[in-house]
């Protein structure tokens, strides 16, 4: 009886949430996707969208393009494409731009990145050559292994932020865009912790005027976008929009934001596997992850200060999923190590090894080995696209601030103060799908087993 009453309350709550469903404006006109950092990931994304639009290939890995989800009762067996459940931007009406400290156009940068087959790139040469990066806001103090001359000059960080806003306005006008979205695809900056200047909008704006060293370029881009109400996602592990001042600004300007660090490769595997081990109450003694990669990202991460940013982003995942404080017999003091090794011969074709020491019935030890011969940018490109498409949806649904439903795509998901970020990919998927159902005015799924006979 008690259980039935509880279920009824849950259902009532869910229904009242649905009553308050979002009104989503239709995705009309052109969407401009601006990418600060036009290296391997950005150019693979842009070239990919052009290849898809030409019918040369499929957008594999992108939920916004290929994903389906269940709508209604289980007995109805209705699994439409996500893009038919809510109004999403059509890829034919997307235009790309961005910034970089190297002035190579997207075709040249994609050739240099050596991710995509030269024969495919040749077929896309004409449109890709036309996309030229705007001058970057860059400071070598935050990315020591890079040096470029295609860089803006400005007396203060505020002046640089204003220059970025001007770039966005001009881009929007010149390309006749209705809306813009920004996704940071720039290099990982050195490790910085939240400090006084990040605490409020006022302190942050003063810091921009005073050239505060705790404001790196990625935060200047984030500020510029959010100030203009342009949705912003951060694909790198550096803080960028993950500070109270910018979260507050996002609320004030009605801007959806998401971060940090695209969830690809080894962390993707971790957040698939760890929930399964926990679900079956299998213990963990240690998880050692190491990999080799040879792209420019690998070169940047070879610097200890930049690697530290990545390491922090990668380490939080297992603790949060396994909850050792609740399951000390299974997970107390498990050893977790993450290594990244720069090895030029591999280029973007990373190889990641995981050695996982688990324990089962009566503490008997077992081992799992993973050897993932992955392609970093091939895994990241659909994430860039989906973040852009879904942030644009969030904006049209009047959602603002941190978009936790997009944690699905992120290694170190940004969460509200005092809220644990959610890393388990299956829970993230449920949250993403239910948010879309909610926006579409469809019943959210509770997985209580009642939804087929309601
Ligand atoms: N590929 C993946 O699987 C993956 C996964 C998670 C996160 N990331 C992150 O995504 C980012 C991009 O990765 P990538 O492989 O394309 O690296 P990349 O080195 O090929 O490209 C980064 C580009 O950013 C540019 N850049 C650096 N600082 C800039 C600034 N202030 N303004 C404008 N441009 C700037 C660089 O010149 C470079 O062209 C990195 O931070 C990486 O850590 C990548």
> Which atom of ligand 1 is least distant from the CA of 188?
41
Domain boundary assignment for the chain: 2-262+378-440, 265-373
Contact 447/437 with Cβ under 8 angstroms? no
Whole-number mean pLDDT of the chain?
93
pLDDT, average across residues 373-383: 96
Q: How far is the CA of 35 from the centre of ligand 1 (A)?
A: 10
With cut-offs at 50, 70 and 90, classify the pLDDT of residue 342: very high
Q: How far is the CA of 179 from the centre of ligand 1 (A)?
A: 24
Task: Quote the pLDDT of residue 450.
Answer: 60
With cut-offs at 50, 70 and 90, classify the pLDDT of residue 453: very low
Nearest CA to ligand 1 atom 6: 262
Q: How far is the CA of 379 from the centre of ligand 1 (A)?
A: 14
pLDDT tens digit sequence for 170-200:
999 999 999 999 999 999 999 999 999 999 9
Q: How far is the CA of 30 from the centre of ligand 1 (A)?
A: 26
Whether the per-residue pLDDT at 335 is higher than 50: the answer is: yes
With cut-offs at 50, 70 and 90, classify the pLDDT of residue 429: very high
Nearest to 164 by CA among 207, 221, 112: 221
Q: Which of 185, 295, 375 has the most ligand 1 atoms within 8 A of CB, as the residue to mutate? A: 185
Residue with tokens 């940090």: 260
Residues near 306 by beta carbon (within 8 Å), at least 6 away in sequence: 143, 144, 145, 187, 188, 189, 190, 191, 300
Contact 247/221 with Cβ under 8 angstroms? no
How many CB atoms within 10 Å of residue 384?
A: 27
- Classify 358 as helix, strand or coil: strand
Q: Copy the structure tokens of residue 201.
A: 């909008």
pLDDT tens digit sequence for 93-124:
999 999 999 999 999 999 999 999 999 999 99
Q: Which fold has domain 2-262+378-440?
A: Rossmann fold (3.40.50)
> Which atom of ligand 1 is least distant from the CA of 217?
31
Contact 100/31 with Cβ under 8 angstroms? no
Nearest CA to ligand 1 atom 17: 297
How many CB atoms within 10 Å of residue 365?
A: 10
Q: How far is the CA of 155 from the centre of ligand 1 (A)?
A: 25
Nearest CA to ligand 1 atom 3: 376
Residue with tokens 């006109």: 29
Contact 433/17 with Cβ under 8 angstroms? no
Q: Which helix (H) or strand (E) holds 247?
A: helix 244-252
Q: Which residues line ligand 1 (CB under 6 A)?
A: 36-42, 99-102, 113, 136-138, 143, 146, 148, 185-188, 217, 235-236, 261-262, 264-265, 295-297, 300, 376-377, 379-380
Beta bridge partners of residue 291, listed in sequence order = 340, 352
Contact 230/97 with Cβ under 8 angstroms? no
Q: Which of 34, 154, 297 has the most ligand 1 atoms within 8 A of CB, as the residue to mutate? A: 297
How buried is residue 370: exposed, middle or buried, by Cβ count under 10 Å (0-12/13-18/19+)?
Answer: middle
pLDDT, average across residues 295-308: 86
Q: How far is the CA of 44 from the centre of ligand 1 (A)?
A: 12
Please tell me the distance from the alpha carbon of residue 399 to that of residue 276, in angstroms, as a whole number: 32
Please tell me the distance from the alpha carbon of residue 165 to that of residue 436, in angstroms, as a whole number: 30
Contact 304/327 with Cβ under 8 angstroms? no
With cut-offs at 50, 70 and 90, classify the pLDDT of residue 19: very low
Q: How far is the CA of 37 from the centre of ligand 1 (A)?
A: 6
Residues near 95 by beta carbon (within 8 Å), at least 6 away in sequence: 30, 31, 32, 33, 175, 177
Same fold, 2-262+378-440 and 265-373: no
For the chain, what's the residue count? 454
pLDDT, average across residues 5-29: 61
Q: How far is the CA of 138 from the centre of ligand 1 (A)?
A: 13
Whether the per-residue pLDDT at 65 is higher than 70: the answer is: yes
Q: How far is the CA of 120 from the centre of ligand 1 (A)?
A: 22
Residue 91 DSSP symbol: G
> Which atom of ligand 1 is least distant from the CA of 42?
16
Residue 101 DSSP symbol: S
CATH number of the domain located at residue range(s) 265-373 in this protein: 3.30.360.10
Please tell me the distance from the alpha carbon of residue 182 to that of residue 202, in angstroms, as a whole number: 23
Q: How far is the CA of 296 from the centre of ligand 1 (A)?
A: 8
> Which atom of ligand 1 is least distant from the CA of 109?
39
């Amino acid at each position: 009886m008690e259980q039935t009453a509880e279920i009824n309350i849950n259902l009532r709550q869910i229904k009242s949430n649905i009553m308050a469903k979002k009104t989503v404006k239709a995705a009309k006109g052109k969407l401009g996707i601006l990418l600060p950092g036009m290296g391997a990931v950005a150019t693979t994304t842009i070239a990919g969208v052009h290849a898809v639009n030409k019918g040369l290939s499929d957008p594999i890995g992108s939920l916004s393009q290929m994903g389906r989800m269940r709508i209604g009762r289980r007995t109805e067996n209705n699994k439409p494409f996500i893009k038919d459940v809510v109004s999403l931007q059509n890829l034919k009406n997307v235009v790309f731009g961005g910034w970089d400290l190297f002035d190579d156009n997207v075709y040249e940068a994609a050739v240099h990145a050596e991710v995509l087959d030269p024969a495919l790139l040749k077929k896309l040469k004409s449109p890709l050559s036309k996309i030229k990066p705007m001058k970057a806001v860059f400071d070598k103090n935050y990315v020591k292994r890079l040096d470029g001359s295609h860089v803006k000059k400005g007396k203060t960080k505020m002046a640089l932020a204003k220059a970025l806003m001007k770039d966005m306005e001009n881009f929007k006008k010149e390309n006749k865009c209705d809306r813009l979205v920004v996704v940071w695809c720039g290099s990982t900056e050195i490790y910085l912790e939240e400090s006084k200047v990040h605490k409020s909008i006022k302190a942050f704006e003063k810091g921009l005027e005073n050239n505060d060293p705790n404001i790196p370029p990625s935060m200047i881009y984030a500020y510029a976008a959010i100030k203009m109400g342009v949705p912003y996602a951060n694909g790198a592990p550096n803080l960028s929009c993950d500070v109270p001042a910018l979260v507050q600004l996002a609320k004030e300007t009605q801007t959806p934001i998401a971060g940090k660090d695209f969830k690809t490769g080894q962390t993707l595997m971790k957040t698939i596997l760890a929930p399964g081990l926990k679900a079956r109450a299998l213990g963990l003694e240690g998880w050692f992850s190491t990999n080799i990669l040879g792209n420019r990202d690998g070169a940047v991460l070879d610097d200890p200060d930049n690697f530290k940013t990545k390491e922090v982003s990668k380490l939080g995942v297992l603790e949060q999923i396994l909850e050792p404080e609740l399951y000390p017999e299974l997970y107390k003091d498990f050893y977790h190590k993450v290594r990244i090794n720069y090895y030029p011969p591999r280029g973007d074709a990373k190889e990641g090894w995981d050695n996982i020491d688990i324990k089962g019935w009566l503490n008997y030890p077992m081992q799992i080995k993973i050897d993932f011969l992955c392609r970093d940018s091939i895994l990241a490109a659909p994430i860039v696209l989906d973040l852009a498409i879904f942030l644009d949806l969030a904006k049209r649904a009047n959602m603002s601030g941190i978009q936790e439903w997009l944690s699905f795509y992120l290694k170190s998901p940004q969460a509200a103060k005092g809220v644990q970020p959610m890393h388990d990919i299956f829970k993230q998927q449920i949250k993403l799908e239910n948010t879309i159902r909610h926006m579409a005015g469809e019943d959210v799924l509770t997985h209580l087993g009642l939804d087929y006979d309601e």
